Amino acid sequence: MDETKLRELQERALAVRRDIVEMIALAGSGHPGGSLSGVEIACALYFHAMRIRPAEPDWPERDRFVLSKGHAAPLLYAVLAQAGYFPREELKGLRRIDRMLQGHPDAKGTPGVEVSTGSLGQGIAVANGIALAGKLDGRDYRVYVLVGDGELQEGLVWEAAMAAAHYRLDNVTVFVDYNGFQIDGRIQDVMNPDPVPDKWRAFGWHVLEIDGHDFPQILSAIDTARSVQGKPTAVIARTVKGKGISFMENQVGWHGVAPKPDELERALVELAGWQPA
Amino acid sequence: MMSKMATRDAYGQTLVRLGEREPRVVVLDADLAKSTKTIDFAKSFPQRFFDMGIAEQNLICTAAGLALAGKIPFASTFAVFATGRAFEQIRNSVAYPRANVKIAATHAGLTVGEDGASHQSVEDIAIMRSLPGMTVLVPADARETELMVEAAAAHKGPVYIRLGRSGVPQLFDMEYQFAMGKSPVLREGDDAAIFACGIMVAEALTAARQLAEAGLEVTVVNVSSIKPMDEKTIIEAARQAGAVVTAEEHSVVGGLGSAVAELLARHYPVPVEMVGVQDTFGESGSPSDLLQKYGLTAHHIARGVERVVLRKKTISGNR
């Protein structure tokens, strides 16, 4: 990919990370760890790969993004605001009464939010329904889903995985945000989902394994998924929970805790000092 | 003797007619298409029918996705699995986002019969009516089922339709009207008012005829639209009669009886007797044996009327 595009995406990611930690700090609660691990995937989709019209959120031909791991709502909100679905000012209202941005995504009240999520495991099944409708209507939109690795413990994920392969939903791409942690600890200690790629393969999916913070790898995976015929694609993206903020990285304690003012300051200083790789 | 037809059969037939007229209608099932009667639609419109296998949560969420993309999905399985196994999917992926999903669940109540308690849903009305924005409908016969399915398709928002396995008498002719939030008064009398739904409407009419011979005149209201409820009609009937019996093939915890009692307690308290499953599970047996044993017949409704009339007199005597 060309350098300008890469630089642009990296700067988007930086701005999104800043919005995430700021909005969670201001809200006083929320989930920074799993929001930060999915930043590059969401940015690659919204600022490069997806066919969208932020000014026309119900455009029938649009590609859809389903945040199945709904607790990463701050990530989705930051990206949607930057893409122009609603004013960035709204981010300050996260989790506050009478405001739009709910603790977990609410599709009926938030422009750009396709599916209400928060209860884990449901996103792929809903995405399958959207994808089936696309096939029925002869529309070529694509449906992207971001699921957590801990979320793979939900049985419905595998019901939906079976169904997507059965109905040959090659318009569905699932990104597994494999950051290795869930609330109670390392996923291998809580309930080991490994071997993750083998499981998706066994369910009939085309499987790709990438570094989920590397834009060229993410974009290449999206391109591959587009070209795969007759089966859905699962992209197992190795990520770092809390990515970009040194004291949050790989710390399970940052799954669902808001930074205090001094921690926010340290986080913003770190992000300000960031240089592209 | 009135002819009988199961509401699930009427559902299957109506779906096919609806499918011809409305291309947005799609149907999903969870490996029970032959039992829920969605098989007729599947044969007529194979491209618009999706068997999701034995996976009710997946059934509901996939239906939600189809609805979000502009389809009118009807999702069917047995009532126990639809509302029990997939409750939280219905709550979070259908009701909360107000997805335009129609859940048409069959094999509700004890008249499932021989399959036994695991398959006899006596809680589904309670579960579904607790969800904000969920419309809850229980047809009394085949004709009403037909009208209800069409009304559900035309309505924008989630709907739960409760259907049965066994044949029920055909009560209504082509003149009969159904509307969400309306409860037709089928018979009028001043001694008591019976509010019934589903198969208990026919039983209530039988009870009313028997009571009339004994000198008691009762009102019978078909509360097929449990939510939204026809509050005006129900309060007015309770006011006229001053005594109420509810009748449902469902637990008395949280169902029609509870809904009526909640309404009357707030607006016009009168004595209420509840005919229904008395906070217990069912068992295997023929539908008619089960209805006898669990107290869901015209006879039981008539005894309920007698009890409530006595209570009414005691109360007015004490005043």
* pLDDT score of B270 more than 70: yes
Query: pLDDT (tens digit, 9 = 90+) per residue, A4-49?
Result: 999 999 999 999 999 999 999 999 999 999 999 999 999 999 999 9
Are the CB atoms for A90 and A82 separated by under 8 Å?
no
Query: pLDDT (tens digit, 9 = 90+) per residue, A99-124?
Result: 999 999 999 999 999 999 999 999 99
Consecutive H or E run containing A116: none
- Region B200-209: mean pLDDT is 98
Asked whether the bond before A111 is cis by omega within 30 degrees of 0, the reply is: no
Say which of A122, A137, A163 has its CB closest to residue B93: A122
Say which of B62, B73, B97 has its CB closest to residue A116: B97
Residue range(s) of every CATH 3.40.50.920 domain in chain B: 185-318
Fold of B185-318: Rossmann fold (3.40.50)
Provide the H-helix boundaries in B22-136: 33-36, 39-44, 56-68, 79-80, 87-89, 124-129
A75: Cβ–Cβ under 8 A, 6 or more apart, which residues?
A16, A20, A35, A36, A38, A39, A42, A67
* pLDDT score of A277 more than 70: no
* pLDDT score of A128 more than 60: yes
Taking an 8 Å cut-off on Cβ atoms, the answer to whether A129 and B89 are in contact is: no
Please say if B273 is a catalytic residue.
Answer: no
Instruction: Calculate what percentage of chain A has a pLDDT beyond 90.
Output: 97
pLDDT at B188: 98
Residue range(s) of every CATH 3.40.50.970 domain in chain B: 4-169
Q: Does B2 touch chain A (CB under 8 A)?
A: no
- Region B21-32: mean pLDDT is 98
- Region A192-211: mean pLDDT is 98
How many A×B Cβ pairs under 8 Å? 103
Secondary-structure breakdown of chain A: helix, strand, coil percentages, each rounded to the nearest 5: 50, 10, 40
Please give the Cα distance from B202 to B204 (Å, whole number). Answer: 5
Partners of residue A126 in chain B, C-beta under 8 Å: 61-62, 64-65, 68, 93
Q: For tokens 């609330």, name the residue.
A: A183
C-alpha distance from A270 to closest chain B C-alpha (Å): 38
Written as six digits, the tokens of A78 are 């930051």
Provide the H-helix boundaries in B268-297: 287-293
Query: pLDDT (tens digit, 9 = 90+) per residue, B162-189?
Result: 999 999 999 999 999 999 999 999 999 9
* pLDDT score of A94 more than 60: yes
Q: Does B224 touch chain A (CB under 8 A)?
A: no
Please give the Cα distance from A143 to A130 (Å, whole number). Answer: 7
Burial of B2 (0-12, 13-18, 19+ CB in 10 A): exposed
Q: Residue A1: pLDDT band by 50, 70, 90 thresholds?
A: confident
φ and ψ at A110, to 5 degrees?
Answer: -130, 115
Q: Where are the beta strands (DSSP E) in B179-242?
A: 185-187, 192-196, 218-222, 225-227
Task: Count Cα neighbours of A145 within 13 Å in the Cβ-side half-sphere.
Answer: 37
* pLDDT score of A274 more than 80: no
C-alpha distance from B98 to closest chain A C-alpha (Å): 8
* pLDDT score of B137 more than 80: yes
pLDDT at A276: 57
Burial of B284 (0-12, 13-18, 19+ CB in 10 A): middle
Q: Residue B8: pLDDT band by 50, 70, 90 thresholds?
A: very high
Comparing alpha-carbon positions, the chain A residue that sits nearest to B59 is: A125
pLDDT at B245: 99
Q: For tokens 């002819």, name the residue.
A: B3
Are the CB atoms for B151 and B139 separated by under 8 Å?
no
What is the torsion angle, in degrees rounded to the nearest 10, for the CA atoms of residue B178, residue B5, residue B237 and residue B319? -160
Asked whether the bond before A195 is cis by omega within 30 degrees of 0, the reply is: yes
- Region B36-58: mean pLDDT is 98
What's the CATH number of domain B4-169, 2.40.30.60, 3.40.50.970, 3.40.50.300, 3.30.70.120? 3.40.50.970
Partners of residue A132 in chain B, C-beta under 8 Å: 50, 62, 65-66
Using the Cα atoms of residue B218, residue B219, residue B220 and residue B224 in order, give the sign of their dihedral: negative
φ and ψ at B193, to 5 degrees?
Answer: -120, 130
| Number of CB atoms found within 10 A of residue B5's CB | 17
Query: pLDDT (tens digit, 9 = 90+) per residue, A137-191?
Result: 999 999 999 999 999 999 999 999 999 999 999 999 999 999 999 999 999 999 9
Written as six digits, the tokens of B63 are 């239906």
Please give the Cα distance from A13 to A18 (Å, whole number). Answer: 9
* pLDDT score of B4 more than 90: yes
Are the CB atoms for B86 and B52 separated by under 8 Å?
no
Rounded to two decimals, the ipTM of the complex is 0.96
- Region B113-135: mean pLDDT is 98
A254: Cβ–Cβ under 8 A, 6 or more apart, which residues?
A32, A33, A241, A242, A248
pLDDT at B319: 63
Taking an 8 Å cut-off on Cβ atoms, the answer to whether B53 and A162 are in contact is: yes
Q: Residue A273: pLDDT band by 50, 70, 90 thresholds?
A: confident
Distance of CA B9 to the CA centre of its chain: 15
Chain A interface disruption, residue of B50, B61, B100, most A CBs within 10 A:
B61
What is the torsion angle, in degrees rounded to the nearest 10, for the CA atoms of residue A164, residue A165, residue A168 and residue A170? 70
Taking an 8 Å cut-off on Cβ atoms, the answer to whether B50 and A122 are in contact is: no
| Number of CB atoms found within 10 A of residue A139's CB | 14
Query: pLDDT (tens digit, 9 = 90+) per residue, A237-271?
Result: 999 999 999 999 999 999 999 999 999 999 999 99
pLDDT at B317: 79
Partners of residue B63 in chain A, C-beta under 8 Å: 129
- Region B59-84: mean pLDDT is 98
Please give the Cα distance from B170 to B167 (Å, whole number). Answer: 9
Query: pLDDT (tens digit, 9 = 90+) per residue, A202-247?
Result: 999 999 999 999 999 999 999 999 999 999 999 999 999 999 999 9
* pLDDT score of A275 more than 90: no
Please give the Cα distance from B130 to B107 (Å, whole number). Answer: 21
Q: Does A172 touch chain B (CB under 8 A)?
A: no
Please give the Cα distance from A70 to A77 (Å, whole number). Answer: 11
- For every residue of A7-74, DSSP letters joined together read HHHHHHHHHHHHHHHHHHHHHT---HHHHHTTHHHHHHIIIII----TTSTT-TT--EEEESSGGGHH
Domains detected in chain A: 3-272 (3.40.50.970)
